[in-house]
């Protein structure tokens, strides 16, 4: 099978498994795991922040960040297709008692003007706007990249109104690889930032949360509250360290594979691909014939040996990653042609 469902399906390489086996470990709840501590130190430096915290997932990273920076009854501005709004199981309401205010962006990007319109006035009838969340790259928009100018404008707005900003940077590595902009340049505009090791970097588990020391102390407490305290977590941190040191430089290969797939299938009958949105390692395919459904297309491709995900009634997503090479992308494109010419 050629598995294009997500960049989370990758498996640890032999070299990563060796790093896991060699990891020096301790009790991380006591702060005594040297490999976790090393990962947190290196991650904080890479992101230009005072401190960092290892967590089990991007969702946990986002949620401890929201919890540490809001009070129950606050409101958080997010993009309408963002991960934190659509794919985190209502966690902001459950865990932090906040409500989300979705703003419809273009390719996942909303403007400072849109955010300003969404701000709540100081009135007893309204919740208090407290936090703005940006997702970069943006999953449901197609793996699209936030322009640094848009981020800067949003930061200026936040400063004028005394708001905090959080960066859901699960795939920030991809944004940096595609633009050449360092991670710390992106993250400097945010009070907190998460990055993920189990997506494009190929580690089995883990994300990092970074910010000020005060913020990380609060996030650390809420990680424990949410059940995320880990003991000998160095075996996981070793995989993340290996990924960070060895798999970042090759991310542009995934972007090239996505572009190749998009260009190969865009002209097929009944298919539309927004090439402007193919900026990193994702390809979203819209089915234009009313009789076709994403679920049926997903199954037809699976029968022929290609796995994708139906993300809507007539929408498919394919994600490239380090476990699928260019030859397999060419094969996958041929399968798309075979299926859709007969679909």
pLDDT at residue 174, as a whole number: 98
Indicate the pLDDT class of residue 341, thresholds 50, 70 and 90.
Answer: confident
Contact between 192 and 215 under an 8 Å Cβ cutoff? The reply is yes
Give the three-state DSSP class for 248: coil
pLDDT at residue 80, as a whole number: 98
For domain 250-342, is the CATH number 3.90.1150.10?
Answer: yes
Tokens 């390489």 -> residue: 13
Q: What is the CA radius of gyration of the chain?
A: 20
Arithmetic mean of pLDDT over the chain: 97
pLDDT at residue 225, as a whole number: 97
Contact between 88 and 58 under an 8 Å Cβ cutoff? The reply is no
Domain spans of the chain, in order of start = 14-246, 250-342
pLDDT at residue 71, as a whole number: 97
Indicate the pLDDT class of residue 267, thresholds 50, 70 and 90.
Answer: confident
pLDDT at residue 86, as a whole number: 97
pLDDT in tens, 49-74: 999 999 999 999 999 999 999 999 99
**What's phi and psi for 140, nearest 5 deg?**
-65, -20
Residue 5, pLDDT above cutoff 90 = yes
pLDDT in tens, 212-237: 999 999 999 999 999 999 999 999 99
Indicate the pLDDT class of residue 330, thresholds 50, 70 and 90.
Answer: very high
Residue 334, pLDDT above cutoff 90 = yes
The reply to whether 250-342 shares the fold of 14-246 is: no
Across the range 255-274, mean pLDDT stands at: 95
Name, in order, each residue with C-beta under 8 angstroms of 113's C-beta and a sequence gap of 6 or more. none
**Measuring CA to CA, how many Å separate 165 from each of 133, 172, 332?**
6, 15, 40
Please give the class, per CATH, of domain 14-246: alpha beta
Structure pTM? 0.96
* 19: Cα within 13 Å, side-chain hemisphere: 20
Indicate the pLDDT class of residue 291, thresholds 50, 70 and 90.
Answer: confident
Residue 343, pLDDT above cutoff 90 = no
pLDDT at residue 67, as a whole number: 98
Residue 290, pLDDT above cutoff 90 = no
**Measuring CA to CA, how many Å separate 128 from each of 98, 99, 122, 167?**
10, 10, 7, 20
pLDDT in tens, 99-127: 999 999 999 999 999 999 999 998 999 99
């Amino acid at each position: 099978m050629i598995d294009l469902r997500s960049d989370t399906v990758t498996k640890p390489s032999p070299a990563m498994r060796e790093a896991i086996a060699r990891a020096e470990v301790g009790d991380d709840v006591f702060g005594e795991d040297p490999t976790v501590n090393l990962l947190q130190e290196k991650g904080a430096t890479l992101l230009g922040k005072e401190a960092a915290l290892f967590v089990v997932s991007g969702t946990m990273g986002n949620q401890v960040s929201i919890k540490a920076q809001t009070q129950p009854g606050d409101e958080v501005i997010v993009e309408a297709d963002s991960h934190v709004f659509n794919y985190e199981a209502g966690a902001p309401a459950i865990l932090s008692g906040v409500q989300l205010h979705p703003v419809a962006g273009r390719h996942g990007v909303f403007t400072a003007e849109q955010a300003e319109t969404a701000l709540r006035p100081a009135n007893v009838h309204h919740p208090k706007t407290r936090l703005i969340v940006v997702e970069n790259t943006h999953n449901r928009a197609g793996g699209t990249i936030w322009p640094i100018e848009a981020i800067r404008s949003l930061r200026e707005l936040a400063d004028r109104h005394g708001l905090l900003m959080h960066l859901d940077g699960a795939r920030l590595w991809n944004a940096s690889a595609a633009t050449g902009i360092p991670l710390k340049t992106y993250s400097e505009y945010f009070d907190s930032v998460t990055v993920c090791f189990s997506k494009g970097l190929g580690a089995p588990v883990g994300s990092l949360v970074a910010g000020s020391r005060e913020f990380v102390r609060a996030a650390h407490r809420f990680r424990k509250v949410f059940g995320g305290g880990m003991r000998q977590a160095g075996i996981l941190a070793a995989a993340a360290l290996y990924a960070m040191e060895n798999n970042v430089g090759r991310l542009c290969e995934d972007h090239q594979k996505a572009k190749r797939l998009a260009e190969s299938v865009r002209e097929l009958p009944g298919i539309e691909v927004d090439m402007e949105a193919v900026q990193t390692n994702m390809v979203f395919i819209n089915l234009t014939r009313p009789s076709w459904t994403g679920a049926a297309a997903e199954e037809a491709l699976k029968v022929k040996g290609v796995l994708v995900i139906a993300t809507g009634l007539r929408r498919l997503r394919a994600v490239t990653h380090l476990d699928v090479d260019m030859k397999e992308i060419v094969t996958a494109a041929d399968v798309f042609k075979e299926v859709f010419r007969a679909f």
